[in-house]
Every structure is written in structure tokens, then in C-alpha cells.
Amino acid sequence: MSTDADCPFCKIVAGEIPADVVHRTGSTVAFRDLNAQAPTHVLVVPTSHHENAAALAQAEPGVVAELVDTAHEVAVAEGLEGYRMVFNTGAAAGQSVFHVHLHVLGGRELAWPPG
């Protein structure tokens, strides 16, 4: 498993930085976003470090499916009737932590198209 000693999400996975963890599997950790953009805003990350979704898909394609499955389990546990899953890839798309993470957003009407 690859990690990055300077990555805040790797530190959350390792338990070095506290987080409100809502779900954990062998390959994923889901925790509440500190900068929530909806009543429910959870980040689902792989336990291994990859910069973005495309890099994860090349290295560990099965983990991409597990991220989506974990996101669904979180949405069900949160009682969401509908929800959005978002991967941001690159700074121009709003990615600020370069450890792939899947945003799970719900609990309010979500406009389309997104910002």
C-alpha cells in the first residue's frame, strides 16, 4: 500500500489526524468534510495514496468500485433519498488535497449544472 507522509488524508487513514469517520472498510475510509457544502458531505478515500481517480483506476481498479459502494452505504446510513458523488481532478477542477477522494453530497436540493 502506498502512502505519502505529507498527505493529510493519509494521516487521517492512519489515525494521526482526528476525523469524524462514518464508515471504514479494508480499502476505504469515509469521514465528514470539515468544509461541508451540503447537510451531508462525506469524503470517501482509499487507504492507499493515489493523486486522483484516474491514477487509482490504473493502479487499483477494484478500489474505485469499492469507493462507489462505500459512498452508497454512507448515503443509505445517512437516510439520503438522493445524493451526488463527485471526483474533482486537478487544481483547476477544485481538487485541493491530492489524494483521490469521492465527495458524497446530499440532504438538500442539489442544483444542476453544478458550479
Residue 105 and residue 41 in contact, taking contact as beta carbons nearer than 8 Å: yes
Tell me, what amino acid is at 99?
Answer: H
pLDDT of 115 = 67
pLDDT tens, residue by residue, 17-26: 999 999 999 9
23 catalytic? Reply is: no
Pairing state between β 21-24 and 28-32: antiparallel
Residue 54 and residue 62 in contact, taking contact as beta carbons nearer than 8 Å: no
Q: Which of left, alpha, beta for 86 (phi over 0: left; psi -120 to 50: alpha)?
A: beta
Q: Which one of the listed residues 49, 50, 99, 101 is annotated catalytic?
A: 101
Residues above pLDDT 70, as percent of the chain = 99
pLDDT tens, residue by residue, 24-52: 999 999 999 999 999 999 999 999 999 99
Residue 3 and residue 14 in contact, taking contact as beta carbons nearer than 8 Å: yes
Q: Domains in the chain, please, with CATH?
A: 8-106 (3.30.428.10)
Cell readout for 95 is 481538487
Distance of alpha carbon 63 from alpha carbon 30, whole angstroms: 13
pLDDT tens, residue by residue, 83-110: 999 999 999 999 999 999 999 999 999 9
Average pLDDT over residues 69-90: 97
Distance of alpha carbon 91 from alpha carbon 83, whole angstroms: 24
pLDDT of 21 = 98
